[in-house]
């Protein structure tokens, strides 16, 4: 099977060479690297041009005449990929050298699988515990793949609680990808990678690969997740707060739009309402009897929390 890398850049001169080197040093070589630069104003493009000259035919570099934005730039890069497998790639991370080999083998042996999401570790000087131990992304997200083996469980986890597969940890079968381009863009939260994951999970064609196949760099200039990851403390006890509960109820409008916009299983809508009621019970259960009664009255008649589910 042939493989394409959809790599998008914007002002990433500090890290792009390291990322490209990790792709070029695979035990199983990639077939092509489609690199779309979104009008970088630093030294990114000269670095890219140098690599493209060193690897003609392998690296196909495009510089957008005007800034398209993160999602549109990825959509362009993905649309230009010709390989059987398309691997999404950011400019500032690193791949383990067996990534292509592992991913290709899964797609070869499982014809029903359209998307693979693999485990990743975190690295970077910004990490609070950078020098103490390896930090794994799924640990931060409290994600245990063993809990999502029955069909239907994984789509609920991704839709109800949020994505646990950053784009750089994703590989997509190209026939599936092209069938879902252009992107539907249901809302600003469901970006390109999340959209494809939800559709694949809804079709039960998403593979969870437990092997760590890459490293996700944490630094202040990244678009998503810097604060949450850099300040993560796995020793902290996580409890469901009232604010957490309100956020869960508010998310219903998001879930409802995603189900309709992405043509997901309609039962996910009613399922989320049940999910909210269960979280509400869990929250009350941890309170004393008096506080429980007071909170029930406040939630229903003062805060009108159940109005979010209409």
pLDDT at 128: 57
User: CA-based Rg of the chain, rounded to a whole angstrom?
Assistant: 21
Q: How confident is the model at residue 46 (pLDDT cuts 50, 70, 90)?
A: very high
Pairwise CA distance, residues 279 & 285, whole Å: 10
Res 201 pLDDT > 90? yes
Over range 177-181, report the average pLDDT. Answer: 98
Is the four-CA dihedral 279, 244, 267, 158 of positive or negative sign? negative
pLDDT at 227: 43
Please list the residues that pair with 208 across neighbouring strands. Answer: 117
Pairwise CA distance, residues 47 & 53, whole Å: 10
- Rounded percentage of the chain residues whose pLDDT exceeds 90: 84
User: If you average pLDDT over each of 99-103, 120-124, 152-156, 284-288, which comes out highest?
Assistant: 99-103
Q: Which of 281, 205, 209 is nearest to 240 (CA)?
A: 281
Domains of the chain plus CATH, in order, are: 3-230 (3.90.550.10), 242-309 (no CATH)
Q: What is the mean pLDDT of the chain?
A: 91
pLDDT at 140: 83
Over range 79-86, report the average pLDDT. Answer: 98
Res 270 pLDDT > 50? yes
Half-sphere exposure of residue 254: CA atoms within 13 angstroms, side-chain side: 15
Res 199 pLDDT > 60? yes
pLDDT in tens, 53-81: 999 999 999 999 999 999 999 999 999 99
Q: How confident is the model at residue 218 (pLDDT cuts 50, 70, 90)?
A: confident
- Contact 247/279 with Cβ under 8 angstroms? no
Over range 160-187, report the average pLDDT. Answer: 96
pLDDT at 176: 98
pLDDT at 148: 83
- Contact 172/119 with Cβ under 8 angstroms? no
- Contact 260/268 with Cβ under 8 angstroms? no
Please list the residues that pair with 7 across neighbouring strands. Answer: 35, 89
pLDDT in tens, 25-43: 999 999 999 999 999 999 9
pLDDT at 65: 94
- Contact 97/22 with Cβ under 8 angstroms? yes
Q: How confident is the model at residue 151 (pLDDT cuts 50, 70, 90)?
A: low
Q: How confident is the model at residue 142 (pLDDT cuts 50, 70, 90)?
A: confident
pLDDT at 32: 98
pLDDT in tens, 154-172: 999 999 999 999 999 999 9
Pairwise CA distance, residues 223 & 5, whole Å: 20
pLDDT at 135: 83
pLDDT at 61: 98
Over range 284-296, report the average pLDDT. Answer: 94
pLDDT in tens, 225-252: 434 454 445 555 468 999 999 999 999 9
């Amino acid at each position: 099977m042939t493989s394409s890398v959809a790599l998008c850049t914007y002002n990433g001169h500090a890290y792009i060479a390291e990322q490209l080197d990790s792709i070029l040093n695979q035990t199983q070589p990639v077939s092509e690297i489609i690199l779309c630069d979104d009008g970088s104003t630093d030294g990114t493009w000269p670095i890219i041009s140098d690599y493209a000259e060193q690897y003609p035919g392998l690296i196909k570099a495009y510089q957008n005449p005007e800034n398209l934005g993160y999602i549109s730039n990825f959509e362009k890069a993905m649309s230009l990929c010709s390989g059987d497998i398309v691997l999404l790639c950011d400019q500032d991370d690193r791949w383990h050298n067996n990534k292509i080999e592992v991913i290709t083998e899964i797609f070869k042996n499982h014809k029903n699988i359209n998307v693979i999401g693999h485990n990743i570790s975190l690295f970077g000087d910004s990490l609070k515990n950078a020098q103490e131990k390896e930090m794994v992304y799924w640990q931060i997200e409290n994600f245990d793949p063993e809990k999502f083996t029955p069909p239907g469980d994984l789509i609920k986890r991704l839709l109800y609680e949020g994505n646990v597969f950053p784009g750089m940890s994703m590989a997509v079968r190209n026939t599936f990808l092209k069938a879902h381009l252009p992107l539907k863009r249901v809302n600003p939260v469901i970006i390109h990678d999340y959209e494809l994951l939800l559709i694949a999970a809804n079709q039960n064609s998403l593979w969870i690969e437990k092997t760590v196949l890459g490293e996700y760099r944490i630094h202040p200039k990244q678009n998503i997740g810097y604060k949450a990851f850099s300040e993560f403390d796995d020793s902290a006890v996580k409890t469901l707060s009232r604010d957490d509960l309100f956020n869960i109820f508010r998310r219903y409008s998001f879930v409802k739009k995603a189900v309709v916009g992405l043509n997901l299983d309609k039962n996910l809508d009613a399922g989320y309402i049940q999910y909210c009621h269960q979280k509400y019970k869990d929250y009350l259960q941890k309170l004393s009897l008096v506080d429980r009664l007071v909170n029930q009255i406040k939630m229903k008649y003062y805060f009108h929390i159940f109005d979010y589910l209409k």
